[in-house]
Amino acid sequence: MEPAEILSNPGGVIGVSWLMIALPLLGAAVLLLGGRRTDKWGHFLGVLMALASFVVAALVFFQMLGFAPAERRVSVPLYAFIPGVADLGLLIDPLSISFALLITGVGSLIHIYSIGYMSHDTDRRRFFAYLNLFVAAMLLLVLADNYVALFIGWEGVGLASYLLIGFWQFKPSAATAAKKAFVVNRVGDFGLLIAIFIVFTTFGSVAFGEVFPKAGEASQGTLTAIGLLLLLGACGKSAQLPLQSWLLDAMEGPTPVSALIHAATMVTAGVYLVVRSGAAFFPGDGTASLVVTIVGVATLLAGAIIGTAKDDIKKALAGSTMSQIGYMMLAAGLGPVGYAFAIAHLITHGFFKANLFLGAGSVMHGMNDQVDMRRYGGLRTLMPVTFITFLVGYLAIIGFPLLSGYFTKDGIIETAMEHNAILGWLAVAGAGITGFYMSRVVFMTFFGERRWDKDVHPHESPAVMTWPLIVLAAGSAVLGAYLVLSNRLMVFLGPAVGLPEELPAFHVVSPVGLATLALVAAGAGYAWLKYGRQEVPVVAPRGSFLTTFARRDLYGDALNEALFMRPGQWLTRLAVWFDNRGVDGLVNGLAATIGGTSGRLRRIQTGYVRSYALSIFVGAAILAGAWFVVGTL
């Protein structure tokens, strides 16, 4: 099925759908410009703007449900941006509105949670300003109707991520992590930028509505080049190999940030990009798609392996995020059916990963910001709400039957299996590792001996933090079933991503699903043996070579350091030296030569009249001689 025609603005709420972006942006502006004056009520304004944006998104969604499925593609032009290149406009279709609902919905919950989490921070207002800025940029990213507007949102979320990772900028580690995230993302953005150039020079436009229908007319090489460059951009934003290294460091930011930006929404922007451009630039059997699947599988395994060795609860979850996005990326490389499962997993992941991160934040909140799981233990009775909700999220992510992850992840694995058995089995293996490391997190945190220091008094978090957890846990539990059973999401997304009319039926019980389940159970069991039954040592044991390998993030940072950072430093030093000594040296040398020469020539002026007279005589004689010679010629 070809993507439907884009309809023009039908009015109603859709006509003012730009409010979704404008409201949080306004919130950010008021909070940043208002300064300390807005400290008292700043967080309420932030929450209000996020909620208002959610309400608009919901109204737009319901208005769109009233249209026939084929007409659910509406453009809302805003204004002329760069004449002849790009105008700003929004594209409201099932794909973008799904994202908008996820972003504003989960975003609002995290805003509410942050009121409690950040209550002791003197800069809470600034935090909410950045959160609002993020929501606005992220919405622009997913709602934009062309690549340039998308790029504005794309870098806008990068900025928000930079500001929020470095929110506690007085910590050098946080400042460095923030810079690293931005710079690594910029490498990806470089790819996206070049992709946009190729799109414009090939199609004469950057608008989705003009580019996608004509994609078939371009040469195969061009399409593959665009696809690979878009993938580079996606790798940066979504922390996929080889641009994964920033995500673990990004955990320096406050935990709600990790939940919202580095788990639920921003890091999935890469998946959005691939799915959005999918029909045009990632044809199911093309090279670009193949590379997408390879990147996805590699990352899902790498992330899972990293997750197994981390003692920092947030870093373990970050590894898990990488891994889950790897699944989405894998799915996004599998063609239209894969897109639907990628989006389904993306939405459920948004819920359960936000749930897990906020749960981790709740634990940290009660533990004096301790992040080392070896210092936790036996918290299930002291933090019952956190424990229960975390448990739901945990069961959802490992794919416990009938919870969200079970439906969406299995969908991906089965689609991959149909596509290519190797990919499928690697994805199954990833699921097994997921079972291990997530169980490890749960056992180390909530079970076993109490290993914390004497001055720590763990307590349950306030209601403003637990209620968002409860809502997210509910979503983690049921959303997967709701979206996947009877192909609800597929039917809804169909017109946007170009699904075939005949949709494959989803089997609740399948051989592959059972195999996956068995592996997950094995992983969880092994975790129980190592971390549930045995006592967890407070100081991490040295571990085998493999443990070190995983602890050091598969030597990703070491690799970057050896390949880019050190040569870069040398190059910089060399360039500075060359500039001072070489280029400027040449200039100063020239000046010095001229100065020196005149200094030497000056010596001719001895002050002796006789020598002046002699030179006059000699000169006159030469002139006379020359005149004589010329005269005789």
Partner 1 sequence: MPWLSILMGVSVLGALGVAFVKDDRLAKQATLAVSLVVLALTVVMTVQFSPNGDRFQFVETYDWIPAFGVHYGVAVDGVALVLILLSAVLVPIVVLASWHDAEAGKRSVRTYFSLLLVLEAMMIGVFAATDIFLFYVFFEAMLIPMYFMIGSYGGAQRSYAAVKFLLYSLFGGLLMLVAVIALYVIAGKGTFMFPELIGAIKDPTTQKWLFLGFFIAFAIKAPLWPFHTWLPDAAAQAPAGAAVLLVGVLDKVGTYGMLRFCLELFPEASKWATPVVIALSVIGIVYGAIVAIGQTDIKRLIAYTSISHFGFIAMGVFAMTSNGASGATLYMVNHGFSTGALFLIAGFLIYRRGSHFIEDYGGVQKVAPVLAGAFLVAGLSGLSLPGLNSFVSEFMVLLGTYERYAVPAVIAATGVVLAALYILWMYQRTMNGPTAESVRSMPDLNIRERWVVAPLLVLIIVLGLFPKPLLDVINPSVKETLTNVSVTHPAPAVAKEGQ
Partner 2 sequence: MTTHYLILSALLFAIGGIGVLVRRNAIVVFMCVELMLNACNLAFVAFARQHGNIEGQVIAFFVMIVAAAEVVVGLAIIVTIFRTRRSASVDDASLLKY
Binding positions for partner 1, rule: CB under 8 A: 32, 35, 79-85, 148, 151-152, 154-156, 159, 162, 166, 169-172, 175-176, 178-179, 182-183, 186-187, 189-190, 193-194, 196-198, 200-205, 214, 217-219, 222, 571-573, 575-576, 579, 583-584, 587, 591
The partner in contact with residue 600, picked from partner 2, partner 1, none with C-beta cut-offs of 5 to 8 angstroms by kind, is none
Those residues whose C-beta lies under 8 Å from the C-beta of residue 526, and which sit 6 or more positions away, are 436
Those residues whose C-beta lies under 8 Å from the C-beta of residue 617, and which sit 6 or more positions away, are none
C-alpha 323/C-alpha 340 separation (Å) is: 18
Alpha-helical (H) ranges within 399-503 are: 404-419, 421-446, 463-484, 488-497
C-alpha 13/C-alpha 24 separation (Å) is: 17
Measured CA distances, 267 to 73, 233, 240 (Å): 25, 11, 9
The partner in contact with residue 414, picked from partner 1, partner 2, none with C-beta cut-offs of 5 to 8 angstroms by kind, is none
Q: Applying CB under 8 A, does 627 fall inside the site for partner 2? A: no
Least distance (Å) between residue 610 CB and partner 2: 6
Nearer to partner 2, 44 or 617 (CB): 617
Measured CA distances, 534 to 123, 531, 547 (Å): 42, 6, 18
Least distance (Å) between residue 613 CB and partner 2: 5
Nearer to partner 2, 514 or 618 (CB): 618
Least distance (Å) between residue 626 CB and partner 2: 19
Q: Applying CB under 8 A, does 606 fall inside the site for partner 2? A: yes
Q: DSSP class of residue 144?
A: B
Nearer to partner 1, 133 or 271 (CB): 133
Nearer to partner 2, 201 or 606 (CB): 606
Question: For the CA atoms of the chain, what is the radius of gyration?
Answer: 31
C-alpha 310/C-alpha 319 separation (Å) is: 8
The partner in contact with residue 603, picked from partner 1, partner 2, none with C-beta cut-offs of 5 to 8 angstroms by kind, is partner 2
Long-range contacts of 76-80, Cβ-Cβ distance < 8 Å, separation of 24 or more: 76/9, 76/14, 76/15, 76/17, 76/18, 76/145, 77/9, 77/145, 78/18
Q: Applying CB under 8 A, does 603 fall inside the site for partner 2? A: yes
- Determine the longest span between alpha carbons in the chain, in angstroms: 121
Q: What value, to the nearest 5°, has the Cα angle with vertex 101 and ends 96 and 102? A: 100
Query: Which string of x and - marks every residue 561-600 that binds partner 2 (by CB under 8 A)?
Result: ----------------------------------------
Torsion angle, alpha carbons of 401, 405, 407, 410, to 10:
-100
Least distance (Å) between residue 594 CB and partner 2: 17
Least distance (Å) between residue 226 CB and partner 1: 12
The partner in contact with residue 190, picked from partner 1, partner 2, none with C-beta cut-offs of 5 to 8 angstroms by kind, is partner 1
Q: Applying CB under 8 A, does 545 fall inside the site for partner 2? A: no
Nearer to partner 1, 84 or 541 (CB): 84
- Taking CB under 8 A as the binding criterion, the range among 324-332, 466-474, 576-584, 612-620 that sits at the site for partner 2 is 612-620
Least distance (Å) between residue 597 CB and partner 2: 15
Those residues whose C-beta lies under 8 Å from the C-beta of residue 317, and which sit 6 or more positions away, are 258, 263, 307, 353, 356, 357, 360, 441
- The answer to whether the peptide bond before residue 336 is cis (omega within 30 degrees of 0) is no
The first and second tokens of residue 363, run together, are 């634990």
Q: Are 291 and 331 in contact (CB under 8 A)?
A: no
Q: Applying CB under 8 A, does 608 fall inside the site for partner 2? A: yes
C-alpha 613/C-alpha 15 separation (Å) is: 96
Q: What value, to the nearest 5°, has the Cα angle with vertex 257 and ends 254 and 260? A: 155
The first and second tokens of residue 540, run together, are 């991490």
Q: Please report which helix (H) or strand (E) contains residue 91, including its range.
A: strand 86-92
The partner in contact with residue 617, picked from partner 1, partner 2, none with C-beta cut-offs of 5 to 8 angstroms by kind, is partner 2
Least distance (Å) between residue 266 CB and partner 1: 15
Residue of 501, 607, 630, 631 interacting with partner 2 (CB under 8 A): 607
Residue type present at position 82: I
The partner in contact with residue 197, picked from partner 2, partner 1, none with C-beta cut-offs of 5 to 8 angstroms by kind, is partner 1
Residue of 8, 454, 602, 631 interacting with partner 2 (CB under 8 A): 602
Nearer to partner 1, 212 or 327 (CB): 212
Residue of 613, 622, 623, 624 interacting with partner 2 (CB under 8 A): 613
Q: Are 151 and 192 in contact (CB under 8 A)?
A: yes
The partner in contact with residue 203, picked from partner 2, partner 1, none with C-beta cut-offs of 5 to 8 angstroms by kind, is partner 1
Nearer to partner 2, 219 or 605 (CB): 605
Nearer to partner 1, 79 or 545 (CB): 79
Q: Applying CB under 8 A, does 617 fall inside the site for partner 2? A: yes
Binding site for partner 2 (CB under 8 A): 602-603, 605-610, 613-614, 617
